[in-house]
Structure 1
């Protein structure tokens, strides 16, 4: 049978100690067993000449109550540990999100700096081409100069289109990082919840 105390159920079984015995005194002896579960506490009581099971009933019930107290404490400890783990996981997630967003912004910055460098090199080329056209004005065929001026005009337009500083740069928009983007910053935590560790 199960005995319930404070939401915990404890299985108690009663059986003959010597069920095969033909001796009526031996076959009348009973054993009460309380399933051990997670405890190393005593869990078996027998009829003895010095004490019957009826006399040990208070001890048995006391043992069930003691186990209920232990189990309640264990449950509270597990709930506290779970809550603490959740707090640590949330703190790790907050840091990971901050770092993943910083990584997004750094990537945008690197892309803009790359475009700016390219624009600066191409702009320097356009300036050099313009100077060269000025140097050769009247010394070469007008159609060649006209072609070079058209090329310079297109090149300056292109440089303006790729130069990120032709307009005032603003704070880029970021997006919510994906779980895969968070993993490198979580130090073993799973991005899917505090109960899981990365890779498990």
Structure 2
């Protein structure tokens, strides 16, 4: 009971029943379900949308009574005496199920390939065995490990085992006996699980009736991997664009400062030329007799001296300019193939 309570606290609960009973009961839409979570603030209940793939009606896949035109993977498995470590009565059924599975997935554009044919390892290691075949959907490889379920029964010690255990302290009598059953189990590896990662024969639902779910699972894992790859590609694109924008801003600021430096140099040369010119005009003014012409020249010299003083101060005290905020058009010359308005290329 304690374990059940702890599990209840860890996992969200799902509810498909009416929220309240009676004639005024509020029913949950068939496309939604209630999720309950225990948080540090208490117990939160939310109404969430059910994924579309869980609402889809799956068409059952008929399994042929015999193999007529097996897929290359199935044909390769047929050539081996016990490629999956199955008993002979069960191997034929397993191959027909695999044929149906591969036919349905290849019809959707997926590809099947052969895995290991070394047979099954000991029972305590069989789940760690490599897959017997793989189906690749949208670039995501999903491996299939085919196992034969074992029936467990209480072990009845023999007289020899009892005697050996009494004689040797290290002797351990097994608690259970295991025998191959007629049940199959498919274990899927690779990709992001959606519905499940294992399918097996059930008392009221054999594996043949679950093949449509397995085919859908392969497609879902492939689509999820494709979305993840697209998301990762977009993230890489975003980072590259941000780096290009950062470099473009730096290049724009540098170019702006270089341009201002040129202007400052031009101002300095202009001040030097004007200084010499004003000095020459001043000397000329001293040679003029008093009168209107000299007054006009002196008035012009007063204006020129004031202007020259401002120009000289500007040229003699340069400072690092602060570039204005660039527009998209300002950054285009420094971005190459990138757009200044988002992570895309021209």
Instruction: Quickly name the TM-score band, shorter chain normalised.
Output: 0.5 to 0.7
1:83 aligns with 2:235: yes
Residue 102 of structure 1 corresponds to: 254
The answer to whether the 8 Å contact 1:115/1:164 transfers is no
Q: Please identify which structure carries the higher helix content.
A: 1
Q: Please identify which structure carries the higher strand content.
A: 2
Residue 22 of structure 1 corresponds to: none
Residue 190 of structure 1 corresponds to: 339
**Match among 153, 158, 165 for residue 307 of structure 2:** 158
Deviation string 1:92-123 (CA, Å, 9 cap, x unpaired) is 00011111122222232232222222222111
Q: Which moved more, 1:145-154 or 1:179-188?
A: 145-154
**Match among 310, 313, 317 for residue 168 of structure 1:** 317
1:131 aligns with 2:283: yes
CA distance in 2 between counterparts of 1:141 and 1:81 reads 84
Query: 1:168 deviation in Å?
Result: 2.0
Tell which has more relative contact order, 1 or 2 (C-alpha 8 A, sep 6+). Answer: 1
CA distance in 2 between counterparts of 1:72 and 1:190 reads 29
Query: 1:55 deviation in Å?
Result: 6.8
Query: Relative to 1, partners in 2 of residues 1:7 and 1:73: Cα closer, same or farther, differing over 3 Å?
Result: farther
Query: Relative to 1, partners in 2 of residues 1:35 and 1:179: Cα closer, same or farther, differing over 3 Å?
Result: farther
**Normalization by structure 1: what TM-score?**
0.65
Residue 141 of structure 1 corresponds to: 289
Query: Relative to 1, partners in 2 of residues 1:171 and 1:163: Cα closer, same or farther, differing over 3 Å?
Result: same
Query: 1:89 deviation in Å?
Result: 0.4
How many residues were matched structurally? 159
- Structure 2 portions without partners, runs of 5+: 1-49, 61-103, 112-205
CA distance in 1 between counterparts of 2:254 and 2:228 reads 39
Query: Relative to 1, partners in 2 of residues 1:118 and 1:192: Cα closer, same or farther, differing over 3 Å?
Result: same
Q: RMSD over aligned Cα, in angstroms?
A: 3.3
The answer to whether the 8 Å contact 1:119/1:162 transfers is yes
1:34-53 superposed matches below 5 A: 40-41=109-110
SS of corresponding position for 2:53: strand
1:63 aligns with 2:132: no
CA distance in 2 between counterparts of 1:8 and 1:90 reads 35
Query: Relative to 1, partners in 2 of residues 1:159 and 1:62: Cα closer, same or farther, differing over 3 Å?
Result: same
Deviation string 1:8-58 (CA, Å, 9 cap, x unpaired) is 63855659xxxxxxxxxxxxxxxxxx899xx5138xxxxxxxxxxx87433
